[in-house]
Amino acid sequence: MSSFRNQQVIRQRVWIGSALVVTLAVGVVLGTFLPPRQAEAQPTVTFNSDAVLLFSFIKPGSASDYEGIMQKLSDALQQSGNTTEDRQAQARGWKVYRAGADFSGQNMVPYVWLLDPVVSGANYSASTILNEVFPEEIEELFNTYNDSFTDGQLKQLPVELRLVADF
């Protein structure tokens, strides 16, 4: 009886081992045919209007973090390498304001980007601009920037503007 039991155990182990080998082989074969995952592209934020107001809604405890990132963004706009002309033109027309009061009623600190004039077609993505100049710090900068936004559904609200009268 013991010999029969040992043969059953051996058969089970052979089946389990065979299943593992087949699974591993299928994984290797599939892995060679599937294309490698591409890194996520940096976001593109472009505007094609005369001016833009972009409202950002920040957690009250993260206002100084957000303002620190805005300073790094300013530095990046001034130092940007490949697209210096566009980046410096963006910097000349880009201002960041902090609202005097929470007009949302949601316990957040509203900030407003005023982009006037807009550099048509230029990328205004903060993470992209920061990555151009500070690639070794981008993960920390991005996490600080991203974590400063409120947890609500509305984090940013861009309003593109067309000039209708200039007094």
Domain boundaries, the chain: 1-38, 51-161
Q: How far apart are CA 136 and CA 72, in angstroms?
A: 13
Residue 38 pLDDT: 37
- Position 127 scores a pLDDT of 94
Query: What are the helix and strand counts (H, E) for the chain?
Result: 5, 4
Least confident of 17-21, 49-53, 131-135: 17-21
Sheet arrangement for strand 109-115? 94-98, 109-115, 51-58, 156-161
CATH of 51-161, one of 1.10.260, 1.10.20, 1.10.287, 3.30.70: 3.30.70
Averaged over 29-53, what is the pLDDT? 67
What pLDDT digit, counting tens, does each position of 137-165 carry? 999 999 999 999 998 878 999 999 999 99
| pLDDT greater than 60 at residue 26 | no
User: In this predicted structure, what is the pLDDT of residue 153?
Assistant: 79
How high is the mean pLDDT of the chain?
A: 82
104 vs 17 pLDDT, higher one: 104
